[in-house]
């Protein structure tokens, strides 16, 4: 029988000692380093962020943040969603250092290096901690899956693609054409 090496679990305090010029997330006590997102990812984030920020500000609904913003969900789970929304009712979770608790809406833009985490561990993590709504965006061919938290975890509300108009259950009145996010 081969003895396994004990796995070191890092904590939020350990996470705080990582170099500031590198992007890390802490998932179940494991430090995960992420490369800078590619151009289609950054463009989709900027376009969607523009529409989301405009809607939230115009309606005085809360705050929108872009990555890298630390969201500390536990002592061993610190994530940096691509975009997130915190409603006025939950502004108390915002600190100078980070967001401490579940945002109302989290948006992850899937890339080859992160999609398994975003659709697996992070999806379960967001549900466990009470994120109300989760969007998973693919940059190619440009689709968005909207999930809403139910009794058994996240349930797919809709998947939007080319020619569709995305709407949000958490932000009534918000809509954006998929082509406006992913267009040239």
**CA 77 to chain CA mean position, Å:** 13
Q: How far is CA 149 from CA 3, 14, 124, in A?
A: 40, 31, 10
Q: Is 70 among the domain residues?
A: yes
Count of structural domains within the chain: 1
**Residue 18 belongs to a domain:** no
Tokens 């009470």 identify what position?
130
Q: Given the structure tokens 């890390």, which residue do they identify? A: 24
For the stretch 55-108, pLDDT in tens is: 999 999 999 999 999 999 999 999 999 999 999 999 999 999 999 999 999 999
pLDDT at 28 over 90: no
- Structural domain including 143 reads 38-182
Q: Is the pLDDT of residue 151 over 70?
A: yes
- Per-residue model confidence as pLDDT tens digits over 46-57: 999 999 999 999
The answer to whether residue 11 sits within a structural domain is no
In a domain, 88, yes or no: yes
* 15 vs 72: CA distance, rounded Å: 11
- What mean pLDDT, rounded, does the chain reach? 90
The CATH number of the domain holding residue 71 is 3.90.1570.10
Residue 126 counted as domain residue: yes
The reply to whether 121 falls in a domain is: yes
* Residue of higher predicted confidence among 176 and 20: 176
Q: How confident is the model at residue 184 (pLDDT cuts 50, 70, 90)?
A: low
């Amino acid at each position: 029988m081969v003895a396994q090496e004990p796995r070191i679990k890092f904590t939020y305090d350990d996470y705080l000692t990582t170099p500031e010029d590198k992007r890390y997330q802490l998932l179940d006590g494991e430090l995960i380093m992420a490369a800078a997102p590619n151009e289609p990812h950054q463009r989709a984030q900027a376009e969607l962020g523009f529409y989301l920020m405009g809607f939230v500000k115009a309606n005085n609904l809360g705050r929108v943040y872009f990555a890298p913003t630390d969201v500390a969900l536990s002592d061993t789970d610190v994530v940096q969603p691509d975009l997130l929304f915190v409603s006025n009712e939950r502004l108390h979770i915002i600190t100078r250092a980070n967001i401490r608790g579940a945002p109302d809406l989290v948006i992850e833009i899937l890339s080859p290096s992160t999609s398994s985490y975003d659709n697996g561990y992070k999806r379960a993590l967001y549900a466990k901690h009470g994120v109300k709504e989760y969007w998973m965006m693919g940059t190619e061919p440009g689709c968005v899956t909207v999930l809403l938290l139910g009794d058994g975890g996240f349930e797919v509300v809709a998947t939007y693609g080319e020619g569709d108009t995305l709407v949000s259950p958490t932000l009534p009145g918000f809509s954006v054409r998929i082509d406006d996010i992913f267009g040239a």
